[in-house]
Structure 1
Amino acid sequence: MPVTQLVKPTIDIGVVTVNQDAMVNFYGNVLGFPALPDVPMEGFLVKRFQVGDCVLKIVQFENEPGGRSVAGGLGDSTGLRYWTVSVNNLDALLAAVEDAGQKIVEGPTEVRPGVRIALVGDPDGNLVEFVDRPIS
């Protein structure tokens, strides 16, 4: 039997920020992920968004963390560098990102016939990979 016994078949992603308003605007308004109820905790606030079956959590602490993550492209450092969202409207999504003044870090690039990818930076420089693939 596996050691990890899941009770939910998806993962939640937590992003700590000092720029919660800009992050909430980007994920909620620019990308259009539906907002879920906030979760206030002692010392921090969690803003949540539904991303398919997953939940994206944008966390801001009352006391600003002293460290910062390493910005840059995929191969610029180790660790969690990006997360992937599969879409069928990559061009419209990238236009909305550019219109909002956010950076398209890479792409769009066709990685195999009928499948294109692009990397987008959020307001904190975290990378989101969008994969445009045929609907299956």
Structure 2
Amino acid sequence: MSDSDTALSAHHFGITVSDLDAAVAFYRDVLGLEVLSEFEVSGEGFATGVGVEGASAAFAHLDADGARVELVSYDPEGADARGGAVNDVGATHLGLAVDDVEAFYESLPDDVETLSDGPQTTASGSTILFVRDPDGNLIEIIET
């Protein structure tokens, strides 16, 4: 794709949530992301575009150091796919970097679910910690 009119660039990373207010609170208060905007979208063009008859949605855009994270809560809500394992085919996760994963882990509220008992250092030398948001979506915290 050499035509500049068709070249792709990153715009946002989307995560579907069941309770937008709870998700925004988690991503803002626990992960420290800045809320950029909150808005609602509906209408035939939206419903057709997302392939869900009669759909409307509430959105929040947050800033992760220049990467836009989009949280979206749909009406009607789709099937519950939360809590899957990171190795499930089709699984996705959001990766966020910190200077000190151990300090981040120690700062987490007690009710935040993690996949391991604290940060782990991989064979490649990366220190990682996977956490789940209120809907069970996976977030990898990696030390840089």
Q: Deviations over 1:3-56 (max 9, x none)?
A: 8502x4x34111111121211111011111011011321221111110122111
User: What TM-score results when the alignment is normalised by the length of structure 1?
Assistant: 0.81
Question: Structure 1 stretch 109-118 or stretch 14-23: which is displaced more?
Answer: 109-118
Question: Could you say what secondary structure the match of 1:125 adopts?
Answer: coil
User: What TM-score results when the alignment is normalised by the length of structure 2?
Assistant: 0.77
Q: Contact 1:47–1:59 at 8 Å: present in 2 too?
A: yes
2:104 equivalent among 93, 96, 106: 93
Show the counterpart of 1:52: 65
2:95 equivalent among 84, 91, 95: 84
Give how far 1:57 is off.
Answer: 0.9
User: Is residue 2:16 matched to residue 1:16?
Assistant: yes
Show the counterpart of 1:102: 112
Q: Contact 2:82–2:137 at 8 Å: present in 1 too?
A: no
Q: 1:20-31 counterparts in 2 under 5 A? A: 20-31=20-31
Show the counterpart of 1:38: 38
- Higher Rg of the two aligned structures: 2
**CA distance 1:79–1:11, shift in 2 (3 Å):** farther
Q: Deviations over 1:69-97 (max 9, x none)?
A: 2423212x211331211210212222232
Question: Could you say what secondary structure the match of 1:69 adopts?
Answer: coil
2 CA distance for matches of 1:117 and 1:57? Answer: 23
User: Is residue 2:136 matched to residue 1:125?
Assistant: yes
Unaligned runs of 5+ residues in structure 1 are none
Show the counterpart of 2:45: none
AA at the equivalent of 2:127: R
AA at the equivalent of 2:91: L
Instruction: Flag as ranges the 4+ runs of structure 1 deviating above 6 A.
Output: none
**Structure with a larger share of its residues in strand:** 1
Question: Could you say what secondary structure the match of 1:117 adopts?
Answer: strand
Give how far 1:103 is off.
Answer: 0.6
User: Is residue 2:64 matched to residue 1:64?
Assistant: no
Question: Structure 1 stretch 117-126 or stretch 81-90: which is displaced more?
Answer: 81-90
Q: Percent identity over the alignment? A: 24
